Amino acid sequence: MKIHVDRGIRANYPNWRMMRVLHPELELIGPDTFDFHSDDIEGWIHPGQENNGWGEGFWMTGFCVYTHLYENGMLRRCFSLRDGVEICKAISADEFRMVFPHEEDILMLWNSGVHWEHVGNWVPFVRALNVSVVIDWMKIDSGGWNEHRITPLFKEHLLAKQSSLRIR
């Protein structure tokens, strides 16, 4: 299941008033091609996401996950909205469910988090919904972040091979 991404094209974000991308410098980072059936990607969850979001004795929030990724320099290895768009185009809901079999499994696209003024921080995610693979958005300031909110990370060797990019 190879996914091809043109890193020279910026993602189209929702037209929410008073919204800003949290890390525009990360938008175009990532490999041009990756494969869910190879060692290109590793799935990661914060230890606090285990046990249905009670992993470290407190109700896990997406903001805790984001903070960990940010403070540990892991955001650059995360998927972006562009990756999500190409995943939706390239694979069917059945293929998605073969790789991510739990009904609640979603792939977080942390590279494309946004701050929506007076509303909070939001991050896009990919999931299978009925017969389609879709992108939706989730507020990260709320709790309930269990083990089914998966953070796919590109392996370092893929980022090292990344080609020079020109924004179109």
Which token pair is 75?
């955001």
Rounded to whole angstroms, what are the CA distances from 91 to 42, 94, 116?
18, 8, 30
**What are 148-158's pLDDT values in tens digits?**
778 888 988 77
Q: What CA–CA distances, in Å, run from 47 to 56, 62, 143?
A: 7, 12, 15
Q: Count the Cβ atoms, other than its own, within 10 Å of residue 155.
A: 15
What is residue 168's predicted lDDT score, i.e. its pLDDT?
A: 38
Q: Between these two residues, 30 and 47, which has the higher pLDDT value?
A: 30
- Which carries the bigger pLDDT value, residue 24 or residue 156? 24
- Continuous segment of H or E residues that includes residue 81: helix 81-90
Q: How many CB atoms lie within 10 A of CB 153?
A: 21
- The per-residue pLDDT for range 48-69, each reduced to its tens digit, is 776 654 555 556 788 888 999 9
Mean pLDDT of the 122-134 span: 94
146 vs 67, more confident: 67
Q: Is 2 helix (H, G, I), strand (E, B) or coil?
A: strand
- The overall average pLDDT reported for the chain is 84
